[in-house]
Structure 1
């Protein structure tokens, strides 16, 4: 079974998810090729340049595939030019909503008018988010297959043993408006600890910092389900997160973490300081979170779903 994956990169976030799936499928006899596409790193030019460069790359790709799998919405434009029996598109957030928040009115208008057409370039749609699945069904009448993003417990063996840093608070993710980094930066003086930002690090370096920290903070304004939360759960690092997207599906307040409203600096301050000060309660929640993630989000649990998905689609 020959499959092509298309993504802007294959480390961190969506790209890291795609790379991990490719590795596991190869171990199970699939032939998975990765197409990484470059772009111009300037706002409002990133996605158009990605689509252009990717389309040119696809046109000159003479291979035929059983399936092509695009791992974000701009990749769907590239996917259009690939010769394949089946075309798959994964969506990790409601694309038009993300663009409306981050880009100009002109860009938002274009995306809002073309979103449905782009999604319909795929034979089948997938998402790792139940909230995205629900929103697109209500908004456009489109059906998505829910395929959760697993954590690779074997990879954590690469993370070195580290000394815990007292009251270290960590953010892991993109430095982007929807991630709420600005909110965290503004409240730093009122936090009873030091905040570090892992915004442009390799996965290994980010996980090393996470492992050394006292709490992970996810102050997002909008989300699907950040992989960093599952990673913190596995490392038994307490989590403070906003109740947006799929986060409430995994962070149960005062059970597996502390859940707060988005855009609420005072609640964020209170939750972070509480997590730092009430260490026994934080350790209890972290233990519960570890049990939750190992029962629901490991490759041992989820690989059969991915294999079954591709086999049913192509047979």
Structure 2
């Protein structure tokens, strides 16, 4: 089976997930090609330039594919012009809501009006989030296939042993408004520990910092399901996160982690300081979280779900 993946980038977030899926599919005998498209590296021009350059590239691409799989809404504009028997689009959040938080009202209104049309470019829609699946069904009456994003535990062999840093707190992800990093920075002076922000660094460096920490904090205002939570679970690092998106699907409060409401700095602060002081509770939660991730979210558990999905498209 010949498959083309399209993503603005192949690292971090949904792009990183696309790259990992491509790797695993190749290991299972699929022929997967990644389309690389240039873009203008200016905030409000990145996605539009990617879509324009990608459409031009797709129009002149003479290859034909069994499946073209676009990752996130901007890639759908490129996917539309690719010659393929089946077209798949994956989203890891409610795109119009993400734009609403990050951009102007005019941009948000334009995207919201176009969203349903763009999603219909695809023959099949997928998401890694049950909450996204439910919301799009209620909002636009669209059906999404749920394909959870697995954790590749073999990659952790690249992470060396590190010494724990007393009361170190890790943040892993983009430094942006929807991720709530401003909330974490505002309470930082009152936290009884030191925060290391793993934002612009390689995955290996981020994991080394996470492994050396006592807790991962996810202060997001909106999410699907951050991969960093699964990574922390595997490394047996307890997690404090907000109850947005699919986070409550994996974090059972005081069992596999601690859940707090979004946009509540005081409760987030209290949870962090309390867990730093209760090492026994932190250790117990980390063990439960590790068991949960090994049972539900490794590639060994989920690879057949992916291979069956692509085989059933033909």
How far the C-alpha of 1:245 sits from its partner, in A, is 0.5
How far the C-alpha of 1:275 sits from its partner, in A, is 1.4
The root-mean-square deviation of aligned C-alpha atoms, in Å, is 0.8
Structure 2 matches for 1:115-194, cutoff 5 A?
115-194=115-194
Q: Which residue of 2 aligns with 1:306?
A: 306
1:168-209, Cα deviation, whole Å (9 max, x unpaired): 111000111000000000000000000111111111111111
Q: Does 1:221 align with 2:221?
A: yes
Q: Which residue of 2 aligns with 1:94?
A: 94
Q: Is the Cα contact below 8 Å between 2:8 and 2:47 reproduced in 1?
A: no
Tell me the distance in 2 between the aligned counterparts of 1:237 and 1:91: 28
Structure 2 matches for 1:34-73, cutoff 5 A?
34-73=34-73
How far the C-alpha of 1:44 sits from its partner, in A, is 2.1
How far the C-alpha of 1:265 sits from its partner, in A, is 0.3
Q: Which residue of 1 aligns with 2:285?
A: 285
Tell me the distance in 1 between the aligned counterparts of 2:167 and 2:44: 39
List gaps (5 residues or longer) in structure 1: none
Tell me the distance in 2 between the aligned counterparts of 1:181 and 1:37: 29
**Matched position secondary structure for 2:153:** coil
How far the C-alpha of 1:60 sits from its partner, in A, is 2.2
Structure 2 matches for 1:9-20, cutoff 5 A?
9-20=9-20
Tell me the distance in 2 between the aligned counterparts of 1:37 and 1:275: 44
**Matched position secondary structure for 2:308:** helix
Q: Which residue of 2 aligns with 1:4?
A: 4
Tell me the distance in 1 between the aligned counterparts of 2:274 and 2:75: 42
**Matched position secondary structure for 2:313:** helix
Q: Is the Cα contact below 8 Å between 2:80 and 2:121 reproduced in 1?
A: yes
List gaps (5 residues or longer) in structure 2: none
How far the C-alpha of 1:15 sits from its partner, in A, is 1.3
Q: Is the Cα contact below 8 Å between 2:87 and 2:123 reproduced in 1?
A: yes
When normalised by structure 1's length, the TM-score is 0.98
How far the C-alpha of 1:2 sits from its partner, in A, is 0.2
Q: Is the Cα contact below 8 Å between 2:171 and 2:196 reproduced in 1?
A: yes
How far the C-alpha of 1:72 sits from its partner, in A, is 0.7
